[in-house]
Structure 1
Amino acid sequence: MNLRQQLKAALDRLAEIAALAKSENRDFTEEEITEVATLSASADALDAQIKAADDAQASITRLVKSGEGRPAPVLDSVTDRTDQALTGSFGDQFVKSAAYQQFRKDHPSGFGQGTPIQFGLIKVGTLRDLGRKANAPTLQAGLDHTQAIRFPMVDLTTPPPITLLDVISRGQMAGQSIEYLQITAVTRNAAIIPNEILPADGTTKPTSGLSTALATASAFTYADGFTVTNMMLADAPALASYMDSQIEFNINAVVEDKLINGSGTGGNPTGILATSGTQAQAFDTDVVTTIRRAIGKVTRIGGTVTGVLVSPDDDEMFDLLKDAEGRYYSGGPWSSGPNTIWGRPRIVCHRLAAGTAIVGNLRTITLLDREGLSVLAFNQHADYAARNLVYVRGELRAAQAIFKPAELAVADLTP
């Protein structure tokens, strides 16, 4: 976004916060007060930059029209040089924020020993962006059932791997928690019936049923921090790259872990393995048969199997399966393409224990964004100011909900 678009977004968000508090007839919360202060400072800085840019443009126009032939000024700030190199990543959003730009402008020679460093919370993305890379494939109808193909050559167009965060649903929430109904079991008894049913007939109209349970999705804070030097903090490209490779990766990992293994107690959300109402599939004959049995349990109640979650160990095991003549069941070592089993994507989940697979409609798993990913940087931490070090912390608040546990089957792959 350009400067005016950023300013409009900040002003729209301020109006949204004010309208929400007014509609609920309440004062601002502490979180809203902090966000208002950050947005106000950002809006002031953006307004000043817009005015300076307008003045510069007016000067250039005047000089060109006067025939002096002066060339347009060359951009020289750190932020200007990195605009062309960076994309829309979390690190990019941080180094392009008004707060970072203003702080960099105030310290053009870098941050030395004793420089007080304090960035307010800078919003760098929403939960919809988390775990989704710019070049990651989007699952469209039909793509998630693409069959693996054995190519007679080495394929150099291998797409990036699909992760759990790529295939679940995303949403938003306005409060701390929401209550919702989970569908834990489905009975479908639809049938053709006679036009007339006499009292003596044993035929009655069929009745289908849904078993439901009341569940609560509460917002939890996911956070991670790391230490950088003052020199790295002043180097926008290096800082953006480091943030993308560290904060995003680590927060993705903990979100994925809680989606799978969250216990629902002790300050943890409830993950798939601890959710009541999911179906269970015991080991049957072999791992391939077991997966097919699990698929059948989901499809029999009208569910759609969008993927199969497996651990890295089990993913390797599936790749190495051979027939009686020593031929790989899959494409083998010289082919590439979507890793599938029974036509469904096989998605590697590093937080899933070996010997367990989760089969079903992964879109029924939903992450609800309470507060998007924000970054806070400061050197008022231990003896960091004296060591020219800065603590950078990223955090987000989100809730997770599983609306149809019955459409997920947990399969045991151990004999």
Structure 2
Amino acid sequence: MHRKTVPLAGIKTAGLADGEFIGYASVFGNVDAHGDIVQRGAFSKALSSGATVPLIWEHKADDPRNFVGEVVTAEETAEGLQIKGRFDLESDFGAAAYRQVKGRRVNGLSIGYYVRRAEKSAAGANLLLDVDLVEVSVVARGANDRALIGAVKTAADRSTTGFRAALARDALTRYHTETKGNVMYGNRIQTLTKERDAHLATAKSILDAADSDGRELTADEVQRVEHATAQAKALDEPIQNAQRDAEVYNTAKSLAAEIGEPLNGRDERPADGTGAHLALTGAAAKTLARRIATQMTPQDAKGRKALLPSGSTVTDVPMVAESPFALGRVALSVLDVLTVTAQSPKYSYLRQTLRTNNAAPVADGATKPTSVLGLIEVEAALHVIAHMSEPIPKYWLADAAGLERFVADELLYGLRQALEAQVLNGDGTGENLTGIANVTGIQTQAFATDLLTTTRAAITKVEVQGHTPGTFVLSPADWEKLELARTDTAGQLELGGPIDRAARKLWGVPVTLSLGLPASTGLLLDLSAADISTDHAGIETIWQDSHADDFAKNQLRARVEGRFEVNVTNPLGVVKIATVATP
């Protein structure tokens, strides 16, 4: 069963008989945190059935004492599903619940429902067209939902001013929370931000004045709050553009500092690219799967397993501070060694496509030579990488210990494999990333004599361009060929040869094995030449029973997804290696 809370209009009790209240149990037209939009008419079939809808305390249907009343009437208005409820004052729990609502200590409604019919909107949201209303719960307002502290209205007041006032309060509160701290320095950004804050302050002063007087907002005040909030939101895009300009400038400065002195030994950035790295391998991936399973299967008050039949959990993208190379370990994936940064869904970065150093002695009064840095701006966007499990019987999950963790572990492994393949070999078409091997401007190394000779020639190409070899990326089959090499240059199994089997190094450079490479291809990377971007939302895991006929068959599916992009800032620090001779 799904649940949906409405932290907007609150509950009204004034002017009604003891135990009665009026409120909105659902709101039409807005996108909630799960990407759902309840459409007007979604409750029509449920309301026409005439079935009694119970009133429950905080969705706790496992205790009959929590059935604190019932829904007397329900109707769909332009705003949402408006109900009239009645608490059972003859029961201790019902009377206590009514006192909490009457005293405005509890002031929210939430519905429990099943989806009978839904479809996708053009924007990708789930349009709920037919839902079965199972119960309505009275819920405590959230700590930050200031919109719930509204004046109590009489039942006879059917205008939408109070509802719009609650919407205006909620919009302002959430907008202010979402944008807080999203400010960078610079005259332009400070000016725009100051103007935005002035609009927010205007709206807040109107709300504070109404609260101080203990009254609701007037229609004129609602309009002024809505206008001020809209004015503040209109400044978001100019502020974001200014921030992107600042980011481009800072990137250019950083890149200029890096390429200005490539070989003088004073580059403070570690040659192995240590920093923040995705941790989707080994123990870190197991820990993430365990955390997802724990979140999706909490324990009830008696310590029993309480599987959530449908819901979602968002976990941070796991990070580690150092690459395995810095810790003396072998890498299990190229994702272990490429640094990762958080970005907005659309962003830009600078790429160096050419480096021509024309520095030379210059006579007095002569024109100084110009060096070509070859910078271009690249527009980039995060892409969704996702997959889901086949349908799983609900009772398998309820009865089999650790099954949720196994499913999460398998889905995370698949996500990692797909992401690695895209980072290395995405062709850039449709929603595919443009992988490192397919970026314009990277160097190439043809097969020469044997694989040992070829890989050594690739190192020379990187070093000639002033870059540092960070890792070879090879297929397991190519690494096997190198380990089994029996030539004079490779040596047998003695120490000192170009192949260090124990440390998995080739010519002193760490080797990362990958199944995501193009056929007969390897890579040599300067680890500062490329990185990965993701968003702030983390990796989302969703369990649902609303796919196809899963609900009717009592089955669940799990979906795992995240948003990523690969950025190649220095193509000259990448060599694409042919590992076999061209026929």
Shorter-chain TM-score above 0.5 = yes
SS at match of 1:89: helix
Deviation per residue, 1:328-371 (Å, 9 max, x gap): 36879xx9522111100111110113421111213432211113
Matches within 5 A, 1:59-98: 89-97=287-295
Matches within 5 A, 1:330-369: 337-369=502-534
CA drift at 1:87: 9.7
| One of 292, 299, 311 as aligned partner of 2:475 | 311
SS at match of 1:171: strand
| Larger RCO, structures 1/2 (Cα 8 Å, 6+ apart) | 1
CA RMSD of aligned residues (A): 3.8
Residues 1:25 and 1:137: Cα distance change in structure 2 (over 3 Å): same
CA drift at 1:259: 0.7
**How many matched pairs?**
311
Cross-structure match for 1:378: 544
SS at match of 2:405: helix
Q: Which runs of 5+ in 1 are unaligned?
A: 1-6, 30-85, 144-158
Cross-structure match for 1:164: 334
CA drift at 1:312: 1.8
Cα pair 2:285 2:412 within 8 Å, conserved? no
Q: Distance in 1 between matches of 2:417 and 2:351?
A: 26
CA drift at 1:188: 2.6
Q: Distance in 2 between matches of 1:347 and 1:330?
A: 22
Residues 1:219 and 1:16: Cα distance change in structure 2 (over 3 Å): farther
Is the strand fraction higher in 1 or 2? 2
SS at match of 2:412: helix
Residues 1:230 and 1:344: Cα distance change in structure 2 (over 3 Å): same
Cross-structure match for 1:83: none
Please state if 1:216 is matched with 2:379. yes
Cross-structure match for 1:179: 348
Matches within 5 A, 1:233-244: 233-234=397-398, 238-244=402-408
Deviation per residue, 1:14-43 (Å, 9 max, x gap): 97525359779439x9xxxxxxxxxxxxxx
SS at match of 1:213: strand
CA drift at 1:279: 0.8
Q: Distance in 1 between matches of 2:489 and 2:433?
A: 47
Cα pair 2:340 2:531 within 8 Å, conserved? yes
Q: Distance in 1 between matches of 2:579 and 2:560?
A: 37
Q: Distance in 1 between matches of 2:560 and 2:552?
A: 23
Cα pair 2:338 2:531 within 8 Å, conserved? yes
Please state if 1:188 is matched with 2:188. no
**What's the TM-score once normalised by structure 1's chain length?**
0.65
Cα pair 2:314 2:538 within 8 Å, conserved? yes
Cross-structure match for 2:573: 407
Cross-structure match for 1:17: 178
Deviation per residue, 1:179-217 (Å, 9 max, x gap): 2221112123444x26x4477xxxx74443212233222
Q: Distance in 1 between matches of 2:420 and 2:453?
A: 27
Matches within 5 A, 1:190-339: 190-191=359-360, 193=361, 196-197=363-364, 205-226=368-389, 227-234=391-398, 238-323=402-487, 328=492, 337-339=502-504
Cα pair 1:90 1:240 within 8 Å, conserved? no
Cα pair 2:297 2:306 within 8 Å, conserved? no
SS at match of 2:353: strand
Q: Distance in 2 between matches of 1:293 and 1:325?
A: 14
Q: Distance in 2 between matches of 1:279 and 1:366?
A: 18
User: Which residue type is aligned with residue 372 of structure 2?
Assistant: G
Please state if 1:139 is matched with 2:298. no
Q: Distance in 1 between matches of 2:566 and 2:551?
A: 38
Q: Distance in 2 between matches of 1:400 and 1:169?
A: 10
Runs of 4+ aligned residues of structure 1 deviating over 4 Å after TM superposition are 13-16, 20-24, 104-111, 196-199, 324-327, 329-332
**What's the TM-score once normalised by structure 2's chain length?**
0.47
Q: Distance in 2 between matches of 1:297 and 1:249?
A: 34
CA drift at 1:100: 4.2
SS at match of 2:402: helix
